[in-house]
């Protein structure tokens, strides 16, 4: 792959979770979360991004979010459930991106805050329009997603390498 290869990273935060008496990892989506996950999927489909690979946290709320969102996409991407996305630090997330095979052009991560917001913020050296301002003001709510573009290999992903081209929240 050329160092000029254009790539996209979609960062999707899980939808609103419920708080039953279970471990954090096993928290299911709340009713609002189920509705928002489907809306997020429709909005993702509207971007026209042909996701090559989706990496999803193993937590119940992220798996449920992805199950509802992916039903709205025109084509189901290859999906891998990744334990390291649960409770991931910024360093963990950058390491995952750096491990992505170069045949993947468009990658989607389904994960948690503060990781999703931290990663979007760290990668976005620039923004299109008011995307960075909107993301900063809203704080990356549940079921939100950010789209970051960059050129190069996945091994070259580092702070400031990308441009935030889209940010969407269900309550925009």
Average pLDDT score over residue span 4-31: 96
Spans of all domains in the chain: 6-106+113-168
Listed in order, strand segments (DSSP E) in 23-63 are: 53-57
pLDDT tens column, 48-107: 999 999 999 999 999 999 999 999 999 999 999 999 999 999 999 999 999 999 999 999
Q: How far apart are CA 92 and CA 110, in angstroms?
A: 14
pLDDT band at residue 2 using 50, 70 and 90 as cut-offs: low
pLDDT tens column, 23-55: 999 999 999 999 999 999 999 999 999 999 999
Q: Is the dihedral of CA 7, 137, 125, 56 positive or negative?
A: negative
pLDDT at position 123, please?
97
Query: Span 6-106+113-168: which CATH code?
Result: 3.40.50.1240
Q: Is the pLDDT of residue 4 over 90?
A: no
Contacts of 87 (CB under 8 A, 6+ apart): 112
pTM: 0.97
């Amino acid at each position: 792959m050329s160092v000029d290869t254009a790539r996209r990273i979609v960062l999707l935060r899980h939808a609103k979770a419920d708080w039953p008496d279970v471990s954090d990892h096993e928290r299911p989506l709340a009713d609002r979360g189920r509705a928002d996950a489907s809306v997020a999927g429709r909005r993702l489909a509207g971007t026209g991004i042909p996701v090559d690979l989706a990496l999803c946290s193993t937590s119940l709320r992220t798996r449920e979010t992805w199950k509802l969102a992916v039903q709205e996409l025109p084509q189901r991407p290859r999906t891998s459930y990744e334990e390291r996305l649960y409770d991931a630090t910024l360093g963990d997330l950058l390491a995952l991106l750096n491990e992505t095979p170069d045949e993947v052009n468009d990658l989607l991560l389904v994960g948690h805050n503060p990781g999703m917001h931290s990663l979007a913020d760290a990668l976005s050296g620039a923004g299109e329009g008011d995307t960075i301002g909107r993301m900063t003001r809203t704080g990356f709510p549940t079921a939100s997603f950010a789209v970051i573009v960059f050129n190069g290999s996945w091994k070259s992903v580092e702070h400031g390498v990308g441009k935030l081209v889209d940010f969407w929240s269900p309550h925009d």
